[in-house]
């Protein structure tokens, strides 16, 4: 066998598997079955003349050969995509691929912005990833996308951030909670309630915990969830209060399922940011989308 028979499809499959180290998750991202991926990776290993990964229990680990193939594959795919984007830019800025990753909380408004952009530029293809905060920071670190939309930008992150949209953080309760009839509620009173929060590392969770910590209040976290939808349903069901972006809860507030409490210090004023790696040369399509989002809105934060 020879490496000259290796296909780009096989390299793409293997780089995704190397990132997840889990056949099921890799298959889900690629919209294929685990069995189909196994066949392609087995053939790639035959071309390479060495095993590319080993399985210990339920965990996958790359072999030294697998790490070498992953590095080369990632480099080849990046170079090819860069060439594609450069040629698209030369031909027509109205065409090309936009690689965009957004944090899960932004899924309540960002897809509409993408839709409006695509209406202006119908020839543009968008590859959209919706992930949690830890994953979006890892994608930024690995330079997997052109642009990223997130709320709270971490200190010392390797990029440039442009605030482009208000992101007020609000405190919500079940619609029939007694505090919904109160005004200017003291944070100390809120500290007596049970909370349902997003997972550790979530931007909204960090915002909430920092707000109450600064006032000497330790939140009573009853449940931790990895989904905004689950948090909202549990709050609506009367299991506790929560802190979320107003964008996230607009529909539930309008429907009367939950209510925004009038708490002193809330809403917490934050912004949504569009981010790219520092000194990254953006493809023409990404530059156009960045301009579309900003349009006389703000200056970058570096």
Does residue 83 lie within any of the structural domains?
no
Does residue 16 lie within any of the structural domains?
yes
Q: Is residue 149 located within the same domain as residue 176? A: no
Residue 238 tokens, joined:
């009367």
Q: Is the Cα dihedral 204, 206, 209, 213 positive or negative?
A: negative
Return the axis-axis angle of helices 34-48 and 8-20, rounded to nearest 10°: 110
List, as one string, the DSSP characters of 32-93: S-HHHHHHHHHHHHHHHTS--EEEETTEEEE-HHHHHHHHHHHHHHHHHHHHHHHHHHHH-T
Q: What integer pLDDT is reported at residue 72 of this predicted model?
A: 93
CA end-to-end span of the chain:
49
Reading the chain (302 residues) residue by residue, the pLDDT tens digits are 578 889 999 999 999 999 999 999 999 999 999 999 999 999 999 999 999 999 988 889 999 999 999 999 999 998 888 887 777 665 556 678 899 999 988 998 999 999 999 998 888 899 999 998 889 999 998 889 999 999 888 777 778 999 999 999 999 999 999 999 999 999 999 999 999 999 888 888 999 999 999 999 999 999 999 889 999 999 999 999 999 999 899 999 999 999 999 999 999 999 999 999 988 888 888 999 999 999 855 444 54
Q: Is residue 148 located within the same domain as residue 279? A: yes
Q: Is residue 51 located within the same domain as residue 189? A: no
The answer to whether residues 290 and 210 touch, using CB atoms and an 8 Å cutoff, is no
Residue of 131, 126, 129 lying closest to 105 (CA atoms): 131
DSSP state for residue 186 in the 8-state scheme:
-
Q: What integer pLDDT is reported at residue 299 of this predicted model?
A: 45
Residue 10 tokens, joined:
């096989």
Sheet holding 242-245, edge to edge: 242-245, 169-174, 258-260
> Alpha-carbon dihedral of residues 290, 295, 297, 302, nearest 10 degrees?
30
Please tell me the distance from the alpha carbon of residue 246 to that of residue 272, in angstroms, as a whole number: 12
3 state DSSP class of 298: coil
Q: What integer pLDDT is reported at residue 26 of this predicted model?
A: 93
The answer to whether residues 162 and 210 touch, using CB atoms and an 8 Å cutoff, is no
Helices (H), ranges, the chain: 8-20, 23-30, 34-48, 64-91, 110-120, 133-142, 187-190, 203-213, 228-236, 246-255, 284-294
Does residue 82 lie within any of the structural domains?
no
Q: Is residue 118 located within the same domain as residue 40? A: no
Does residue 265 lie within any of the structural domains?
no
CATH number for the domain that contains residue 201? 3.40.190.10
Domain boundaries, position 105: 92-166+271-294
Q: Is residue 174 located within the same domain as residue 162? A: no
Does residue 193 lie within any of the structural domains?
yes
Q: Is residue 132 located within the same domain as residue 173? A: no
Q: Is residue 175 located within the same domain as residue 255? A: yes
Q: Is residue 159 located within the same domain as residue 225? A: no
- Number of folded domains in the chain? 3
Does residue 301 lie within any of the structural domains?
no
């Amino acid at each position: 066998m020879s490496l000259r028979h290796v296909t780009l499809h096989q390299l793409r499959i293997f780089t995704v598997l190397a990132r997840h180290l889990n056949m099921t998750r890799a298959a889900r991202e690629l919209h294929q079955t685990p069995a189909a991926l196994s066949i392609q990776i087995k053939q790639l290993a035959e071309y390479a003349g060495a095993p590319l990964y080993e399985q210990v229990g339920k965990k996958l680990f790359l072999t030294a050969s697998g790490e070498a193939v992953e590095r080369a594959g990632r480099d080849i795919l990046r170079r090819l995509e860069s060439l594609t984007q450069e040629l698209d830019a030369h031909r027509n800025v109205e065409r090309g691929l936009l690689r965009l990753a957004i944090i899960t909380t932004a899924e309540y408004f960002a897809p509409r912005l993408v839709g409006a952009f695509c209406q202006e530029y119908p020839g543009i293809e968008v590859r959209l990833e919706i992930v949690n905060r830890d994953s979006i920071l890892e994608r930024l670190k690995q330079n997997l996308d052109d642009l990223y939309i997130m709320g709270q930008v971490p200190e010392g992150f390797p990029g440039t951030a442009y605030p482009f949209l208000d992101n007020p953080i609000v405190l919500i309760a079940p619609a029939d909670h007694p505090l919904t009839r109160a005004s200017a509620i003291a944070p100390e009173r809120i500290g007596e309630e049970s909370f349902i929060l997003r997972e550790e590392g979530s931007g909204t969770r960090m915002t909430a915990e920092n707000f109450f910590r600064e006032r000497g209040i330790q939140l009573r976290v009853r449940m931790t969830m990895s989904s905004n939808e689950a948090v909202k349903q549990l709050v609506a069901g009367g299991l506790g209060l929560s802190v979320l972006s107003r964008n996230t809860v607009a529909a539930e507030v309008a429907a009367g399922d939950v209510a925004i409490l009038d708490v002193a210090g809330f809403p917490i004023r934050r912004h949504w940011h569009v981010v790219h790696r520092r000194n990254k040369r953006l493809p023409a399509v990404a530059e156009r989308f960045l301009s579309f989002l900003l349009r006389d809105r703000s200056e970058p934060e570096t």
